[in-house]
Homo-oligomer: A and B are copies of this chain.
Amino acid sequence: MSRAPITSPLGDGERTATGNALQATLVDLIDLSLTAKQAHWNVVGRHFTSVHTQLDELTDTARNYADEVAERSNAIGISPNGKARTVVASSGVPEFPDNWQSDIDTITAIVAALEALIERLRARIEETDKTDLVTQDLLIEITKELEKAHWMWQAQLAN
């Protein structure tokens, strides 16, 4: 493909900056979905049932927003990259341990993963304020969902 087939509604500078924010978000969300699935399959303990179920909902959330982010990237003329190799190279999600994990360890790890992603997203909301309000709107929506998820996971750690 000799020439980019998709044109952009943004100027070159805005396109590059916005594209970087979207690509980084895409990778974070794909890794969140893989991590949540890994946790979903490997959780054990008294609270197995509810944690197992919630992890599937988190996977769906991550997958759906990954799709929206990749579509937005295309819409501004940037090819999105969500391959396994790219995820390993640039994800912001902390490494999840191998093997079965207790329910409490699982919850703790998910809370930490969400905290890391939220902090990165809030920085990107600021960056896109000057480059593309449409993209910013999407990042605000994702942040709202992840912060809500963060509360619901963290609430289970209270004792």
Contact (A102, B148) CB under 8 Å given A87-B84, A134-B140, A134-B143 = no
Which one, B44, B70, B137, contacts A1 given CB within 8 A? B44
Binding site of A, secondary structure by majority: helix, strand, loop or mixed?
helix
A100 touches B42 (CB 8 A): no
A154 touches B6 (CB 8 A): yes
User: Whole-angstrom distance from the CB of A2 to the nearest CB of chain B?
Assistant: 11
B residues in contact with A50, CB < 8 Å: 49-50
Which B residue sits closest to A126, measured CB to CB? B133
Which B residue sits closest to A152, measured CB to CB? B48
B residues in contact with A66, CB < 8 Å: 37
